Structure 1
Amino acid sequence: MTGLAEETRAPIGGWTTGTLVEMDRDDRLVRLRLDVADRVDHLPGQHYVLRLRAEDGYTASRSYSVASDPGDPLLELMVECLPGGEVSGFLHDEARPGDVFELRGPIGGWFTWSGDTPIVCVGGGTGVVPFVSMLRHARRIGAERMIRVCAVGRSRTVLPYADELLAAGAFVALTRENLGGRVAAPPYLDELEPLVAGAERAYVCGSVGFASYATRLLGEAGVPTAAIRVEQFGETG
């Protein structure tokens, strides 16, 4: 019933604007922090649609998970620059502080978490972004014991928020480089089992292939299928 209650009270926002206040980028990622007009506070796990509009009226839009805690005065999005991505490419290469973007959100109720249910989260690549929001929320309200996170990436430099995730106690599995004493590999069943102990719900976010793998691994760890919530995106995740 807790999950249904969260979905019922999940906030929904309409179209508005957001002014880019802060940003930083590397070769493939850009972190955007926006001041949103008439902002509706989100629940961790929700997302926004960001729309670009050309002078000739052409528009292109994409959905991005929220990384910020609901108590953050700014909205934070992490965008991966995809090959040929017209929205992600513009945001990565052309966006500058002071730019104003059309936004719609927050959106979504199924993948939200309010902090009162023990959960385990498994994210791959930029699929860790909603779990960063959940971890930040948990830290602010003193619910760190209610959330465990498994973050999977190719390397520490390309995994979004890698340092923050490690500092928050997340289990990080890198697949192309060693991390500490752990040899590069996807997470093993015996590594995931301690994370799922006591969890009433599991969240999975990542590419289609990753989501399938993580869902199967959670099932092998004893998590019922009905307790797993999945958000998936293109294979580049």
Structure 2
Amino acid sequence: MNSPDPEALPLSPIDDVVPIETTWTTGRIITKDLPTPETVRLRMLVEDRQRHAPGQHYLIRLRAPDDYTAQRSYSVASDDDDPLVEFLVERLPGGEVSEFLSDVAEVGDVLELRGPIGRWFVWDTRTPAFCLVGGTGVVPAVAMIRTARRLGRADRLAVLAVGRTPGMLPYVDELRQAGATIAFTRHDDGQRPAGAPSREEVLPLLDSAEVFYVCGSARFAEYAVPLLIDCGADPAAIRVEQFGATG
């Protein structure tokens, strides 16, 4: 990545996003599809929507007739300029919220949401950044890619996405088209053998990155963070977001 003078870059709505106190609102499901066997993608029209920055998330809350509620956090995949808010949800066995969203929710349903939430994992679109993401952890990186493309700042973002196979990695085609490096742990794609990314693969991608984003399962983070540090990343500049089943 090249590093143009940040002061020379044009301002955008993202530069003006400031933390706000969020409240519960509602969102209507406009489209629903199953991009991989274990995920569901929802695109929602959110009432009283607040602007968001790439890396933020929403809470989605389900409410039963007896007023019992269950809620989970889901990262936003869409750019702030998108009229709809996009979520990719991994269907977890026994997951109250993910199973409902995958198996029961339908287009037209209205759900309770609160967001956007989060400051730690947000990319300001100006600081050179590197994302090392795995599985459904690619979602915030997709939001960053979409925002960078719209703002003409793609040269300030590099992404390495890790999945088991092409059919199990969400957004794999979009990631490829955006120039992301793809690594499959259980599939030889003819360009690299199956396996986790090595230090030799990661090191050239860091270039001038000043902030590093890791998103994936706890096991993935345990692998990715030491790898980045071994490649010279400042531990204080590594931001980690983990996902998985909620006890």
TM-score (norm 2): 0.90
What displacement does 1:195 show? 1.0
> Does the residue aligned with 1:206 lie in a helix, a strand or coil?
strand
Aligned match of 2:76: 66
Aligned match of 2:146: 136
> Does the residue aligned with 2:160 lie in a helix, a strand or coil?
strand
Computed over aligned residues only, the root mean square deviation of the Cα atoms, in angstroms, reads 1.7
- Whole-angstrom CA distance in 1 between matches of 2:237 and 2:107: 41
- Whole-angstrom CA distance in 2 between matches of 1:168 and 1:180: 20
Aligned match of 1:19: 28
Gaps of 5+ in 2: 1-5, 7-14
Aligned match of 1:34: 44
What displacement does 1:13 show? 2.5
Is 1:197 matched up with 2:197? Answer: no
Aligned match of 1:92: 102
Is 1:163 matched up with 2:201? Answer: no
8 A contact 1:11–1:43 mirrored in 2: no
- Whole-angstrom CA distance in 1 between matches of 2:245 and 2:111: 26
What displacement does 1:234 show? 2.4
> Does the residue aligned with 2:168 lie in a helix, a strand or coil?
coil
Instruction: Label 1:30 to 1:16 Cα distance change in 2 as closer, same or farther (>3 A).
Output: same
- Whole-angstrom CA distance in 1 between matches of 2:192 and 2:245: 26
Identity over aligned residues, as a percent?
56
What displacement does 1:86 show? 1.2
Q: Which residue identity does 1:185 align to in structure 2?
A: G
For residues 1-237 of structure 1, what are the structure 2 equivalents within 5 Å?
9-25=18-34, 26-234=36-244
- Whole-angstrom CA distance in 2 between matches of 1:197 and 1:220: 14
What displacement does 1:165 show? 0.5
What displacement does 1:9 show? 2.6
> Does the residue aligned with 1:9 lie in a helix, a strand or coil?
coil
Count of aligned pairs: 232
- Whole-angstrom CA distance in 1 between matches of 2:176 and 2:239: 23
> Does the residue aligned with 1:89 lie in a helix, a strand or coil?
helix
Instruction: Label 1:92 to 1:188 Cα distance change in 2 as closer, same or farther (>3 A).
Output: same
Q: Provide Cα deviations, 1:77-131, integer angstroms capped at 9, x if missing partner.
A: 0001001111100100111110000000000001001210100001011111000
Gaps of 5+ in 1: none
What displacement does 1:197 show? 1.2
> Does the residue aligned with 1:49 lie in a helix, a strand or coil?
strand
- Whole-angstrom CA distance in 1 between matches of 2:24 and 2:132: 30
Q: Provide Cα deviations, 1:186-223, integer angstroms capped at 9, x if missing partner.
A: 00111101111100110001111111110000001110
> Does the residue aligned with 2:226 lie in a helix, a strand or coil?
helix
Q: Which residue identity does 1:212 align to in structure 2?
A: E
> Does the residue aligned with 2:116 lie in a helix, a strand or coil?
strand
TM-score (norm 1): 0.94
